Each structure stands twice: as structure tokens, then as C-alpha cells.
Amino acid sequence: SAVISQKPSRDICQRGTSLTIQCQVDSQVTMMFWYRQQPGQSLTLIATANQGSEATYESGFVIDKFPISRPNLTFSTLTVSNMSPEDSSIYLCSGSENTEAFFGQGTRLTVV
């Protein structure tokens, strides 16, 4: 299966600032997704990153807060905008090709 390199692996950010998380896949994948995992909780899908078009957001997530780019089939970014302490979470990107799914290592974000 493909390997996803995600960075940064962790960051501590000031409230009101923005952080961009990058995911690079070592091969072309049809679909990419972004998840959030709040402390002690499960993974929640934020959006589907669509190549060459706007991302498709799940209920409760909006583009202004979590803008996503996917310029090609191997790369995607998620920006967490205007951060507050409630945004402190692990953010994971995922890629899939048919029934294969694989995840990046996660970005552990702390907002202070």
C-alpha cells in the first residue's frame, strides 16, 4: 500500500493563528481525506479532498475554518484557521485506492 508522509508531526500554536498541515503520498491515489481526533476521542471525518476542485465537507465543518487544497493526486494540505484551544487535536490525512486505506502519522496540534 501507499505511504503517506505528514508534517508537521506536532506543533504548539498561539490562538488566533493558522497552521497548514501537509500530506505527501508516495504514489497517486484516487481519494484523500482529512480526519480530526480530539483528545481521548475517536476519529471524525472533516472532509474529502478533491483533486482540482473544492473539498467536500462533512456536517459541522466549514471551508473558512478548514480550507483544504489538493493540487494533484499525491499531495494535500489542511489549514486550521484562526485557532482556538478547542482545535487542539490530532489531525490525520488518509488516502484510499478502492478498498485499501492508509493514514499519515498524524499531526498533534496544541493551541495555547
Partner 1 sequence: AQKVTQAQTEISVVEKEDVTLDCVYETRDTTYYLFWYKQPPSGELVFLIRRNSFDEQNEISGRYSWNFQKSTSSFNFTITASQVVDSAVYFCALSEDTNAGKSTFGDGTTLTVKP
User: In this structure, what are the phi and psi dihedrals at residue 87, rounded to the nearest 5 degrees?
Assistant: -85, -5
69 is an interface residue for partner 1 by CB under 8 A? no
Q: Does 43 bind partner 1 (CB under 8 A)?
A: yes
Name the 3-class secondary structure at 8: coil
Please tell me the distance from the alpha carbon of residue 40 to that of residue 77, in angstroms, as a whole number: 24
Q: Residue 22, interface with partner 1 (CB under 8 A)?
A: no
Q: Is 98 in the site for partner 1 (CB under 8 A)?
A: yes
Using CB under 8 A as the binding rule, whether residue 87 contacts partner 1 is answered as: no
In this complex, which beta carbon is closest to partner 1, that of residue 104 or of residue 111? 104
Q: Under a CB-based contact definition with an 8 Å cutoff, are residues 85 and 112 in contact? A: yes
Q: Is 94 in the site for partner 1 (CB under 8 A)?
A: yes
The residue among 41 and 84 lying less far from partner 1, judged by its C-beta, is 41
**Does residue number 45 form part of the binding site for partner 1 (CB under 8 A)?**
yes
According to the binding rule CB under 8 A, does residue 13 interact with partner 1? no
95 and 29 Cβ atoms separated by less than 8 Å: yes
Q: How far is CA 13 from the centre of its chain?
A: 16
Query: Which residues lie below 8 Å from residue 38, measured CB to CB, with a gap of 6+?
Result: 44, 88, 89
Residues in contact with partner 1 by CB under 8 A are 1, 30-33, 41-45, 48, 90, 92, 94-96, 98-106, 108
